[in-house]
């Protein structure tokens, strides 16, 4: 039997049979994988703490003909403290939901971003939505859409007033805006620019206030829905 070792995080888990679990994990080495854990819902199961979402660790997986069975997990972090704050928990769930829906292939840079985003939510006192906003900016960047730019993506003119062209997910000038473009206020753009350039472990230093931060989350959610066809999970 071949076995594989991957560093991965559990993004979705469901009960199967009497005591088994089916896990969707996102791994550094192989991207998304479907694996099963045998007998793991039993009281004395040795892997039971590794069966829940957010569990991040080194998984040893035995590859049989039809299934990938987890035989051992060395947990690095299970982000347990997320469960103590409902706002942070839902924001972290939104990150897993995005990975579940729109990412398939391995992406080492994105993998590191996911862990950093979850750490910021779990251990730092970051204002609501700042982590998910920054994470969405990173996801759009991974999709090839550059949100933070001083130039119109259609004509190259320097941007004074900005519009987000939802068809392409990039900023355009007033002359290039289309029917599916929405205005991006200066306050909103400033929030996005600062979030984009601030590392996850420094987000705790930011406090914007005002309309800019509410507009930023609304704009990013709308762009996510247009880019992917999925809604953001309800975070309010």
In the complex, the residues that contact Zn ion under the rule CB under 5 A are 152, 154-155, 157, 173, 176
57/7 Cα distance (integer angstroms): 6
Instruction: Give whichever of 53 and 173 is closer to Zn ion, judged by the CB atom.
Output: 173
Beta strands in 104-218 (DSSP E): 162-165, 170-172, 181-184
Evaluated on CA atoms 124, 49, 235, 183, the torsion sign reads positive
Which of 191, 189, 193 shows the shortest CA–CA distance to 127?
A: 191
Instruction: Give whichever of 2 and 175 is closer to Zn ion, judged by the CB atom.
Output: 175
The Cβ of residue 205 has, within 10 Å, a number of other Cβ atoms equal to 9
Q: Give the nearest distance from C-beta 47 to Zn ion in angstroms.
A: 55
- Two tokens, residue 116: 């950093």
Q: Give the nearest distance from C-beta 151 to Zn ion in angstroms.
A: 8
Paired with 60 in beta bridges are 5, 72
Residue 200 φ/ψ region, left for φ over 0, alpha for ψ in the -120 to 50 degree band, beta for the rest:
alpha
232/61 Cα distance (integer angstroms): 32
Q: Give the nearest distance from C-beta 155 to Zn ion in angstroms.
A: 3
Instruction: Give whichever of 176 and 232 is closer to Zn ion, judged by the CB atom.
Output: 176
Q: Give the nearest distance from C-beta 31 to Zn ion in angstroms.
A: 36
Q: Give the nearest distance from C-beta 176 to Zn ion in angstroms.
A: 3
Q: Which residue has the tokens 């002359």?
A: 175
CA 38 to chain centre: 28
Q: Give the nearest distance from C-beta 175 to Zn ion in angstroms.
A: 5
Instruction: Give whichever of 94 and 152 is closer to Zn ion, judged by the CB atom.
Output: 152
| CA distance readout (Å), 166 to 133, 180, 220, 226 | 17, 6, 10, 6
Q: Give the nearest distance from C-beta 156 to Zn ion in angstroms.
A: 7
User: Which DSSP symbol is given to 140?
Assistant: H
- Two tokens, residue 11: 């993004």
Instruction: Give whichever of 154 and 228 is closer to Zn ion, judged by the CB atom.
Output: 154
Instruction: Give whichever of 28 and 152 is closer to Zn ion, judged by the CB atom.
Output: 152
Instruction: Give whichever of 148 and 176 is closer to Zn ion, judged by the CB atom.
Output: 176
First and final CA of the chain: distance in angstroms? 47
């Amino acid at each position: 039997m071949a076995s594989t070792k991957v560093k991965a995080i559990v993004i979705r888990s469901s009960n199967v049979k009497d005591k088994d679990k089916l896990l969707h994990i996102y791994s550094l080495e192989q991207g998304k994988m479907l694996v099963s854990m045998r007998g793991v819902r039993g009281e004395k199961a040795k892997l039971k703490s590794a069966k829940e979402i957010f569990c991040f660790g080194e998984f040893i997986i035995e590859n049989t003909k039809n299934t990938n069975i987890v035989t051992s997990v060395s947990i690095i972090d299970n982000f347990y403290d997320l469960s103590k704050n409902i706002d942070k928990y839902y924001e972290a769930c939104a990150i897993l939901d995005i990975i579940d829906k729109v990412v398939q292939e391995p992406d080492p840079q994105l993998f590191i971003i996911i862990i950093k985003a979850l750490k910021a939510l779990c251990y730092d006192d970051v204002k609501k939505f700042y982590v998910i906003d920054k994470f969405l900016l990173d996801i759009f960047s991974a999709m090839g859409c550059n949100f933070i730019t001083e130039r119109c993506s259609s004509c190259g003119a320097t941007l004074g007033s900005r519009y987000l062209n939802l068809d392409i997910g990039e900023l355009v000038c007033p002359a290039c805006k289309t029917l599916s473009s929405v205005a991006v206020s200066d306050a909103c753009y400033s929030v996005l620019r600062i979030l984009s350039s601030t590392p996850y472990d420094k987000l705790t230093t930011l406090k914007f206030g005002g309309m800019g931060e509410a507009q930023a989350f609304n704009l990013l959610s709308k762009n996510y829905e247009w880019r992917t066809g999925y809604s953001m999970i309800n975070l309010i």
